Structure 1
Amino acid sequence: MSKMHVKLTVNGKQVEGLAEPRTLLIHFLREDLKITGPHIGCETSHCGACTVDIDGKSVKSCTTFVAQVNGADITTVEGLTNDDGSLGVLQEMFREHHGLQCGFCTPGMITRAHRLLQENPNPTEEEIRFGMAGNLCRCTGYQNIVKAISASADMLNAQKEAAE
């Protein structure tokens, strides 16, 4: 099969490459671009370890062809750090509230939580649980993940108020 030219914006940077149209986005990110934050879990879109943000939507990259997102703006967990490379708010709150154990699901959780807080900046616990339902964790029991997202919402809202 012939390869196609792919142009993407990934974590704010323009990238280009060659890929077969049937190449899954997760493989293009990890193998071609060496962006290893999104993880390969179930490869059926059920676990959410591969979650990335594409043009303002949470997407499971293990069932998305790179050809489908040619020209798209993609954010992975690496793109959620601060400009100086330090942990972003969600990353820091996941660390502070121990919203992780083995860490395998964490990149997808944080990326999905980012989009959830963009859609709903002040979610209730129930809304967080519902909004995160497509991302599975086999270690934590979710309570600390919910706490981390809630604390992130509080911190982001406080930062927004201070800036106004």
Structure 2
Amino acid sequence: MADEVAVTVTINGETVTDRVPARMHAADFLRHRLGLTGTHVGCEQGVCGMCTVLVNGEAVKSCLMFAAQLDGCAVETVESLATGDQLNPLQQAFKDEHGLQCGFCTPGFLMTATALARRGQRLCAAEIREEIAGVLCRCTGYDGIVKAIARHLDETAV
């Protein structure tokens, strides 16, 4: 079909080649084509940040990208963080610091914080709040989330 585009993308370390509708959003490609349902879709307008994934190491809202834009990119979703039943250190920090309640926003925070941690900086609580402002939570009040991210940044800072 003329309205389909071929894409080859590395997702969580595995190369995927597919044909996608030209206007399919990256979030829908990840969720519906690839079954990576950890990428949550909330507002579909880039406001809530629930669909945040890493594209070439940068946190992006996948509802604002077309799947075709992923061609040639490396994408990491929340499914890339844990190894089997073993949580990664950031996920463990979220668990230990009570950084989640309903969990719907958690993948967005985890991926945003993963990109943040890769910068190798320690940040104060106010700076962390500013960095995660693109992801909304309706349950936690953010305190546990900020504590978890701060703990992880302290553990991973260079």
CA deviations over 1:64-101 (Å, ceiling 9, x no partner): 0011121100011111224x551111111111111000
- The whole-number CA distance in structure 2 between the counterparts of 1:27 and 1:121 is 33
> How many residues of Structure 1 are paired with residues of Structure 2 in the alignment?
157
TM-score for the superposition, normalised by structure 1: 0.91
CA deviations over 1:100-158 (Å, ceiling 9, x no partner): 0000000011000111112253111111111001000000000000000011112224x
Matching residue of 1:17: 18
Matching residue of 2:130: 130
* Structure 1: 5+ residue stretches without partners: none
* Contact map agreement 2:117 2:156 (CA 8 A) in 1: no
Runs of 4+, deviation exceeding 3 Å: none
* Structure 2: 5+ residue stretches without partners: none
TM-score for the superposition, normalised by structure 2: 0.94
Deviation at 1:54, TM superposition (A): 0.4
Q: Hey, which of these two has a bigger chunk of helix by percent? A: 1
Matching residue of 1:52: 53
- The whole-number CA distance in structure 2 between the counterparts of 1:76 and 1:34 is 11
Matching residue of 2:81: 80
* Contact map agreement 2:42 2:48 (CA 8 A) in 1: yes
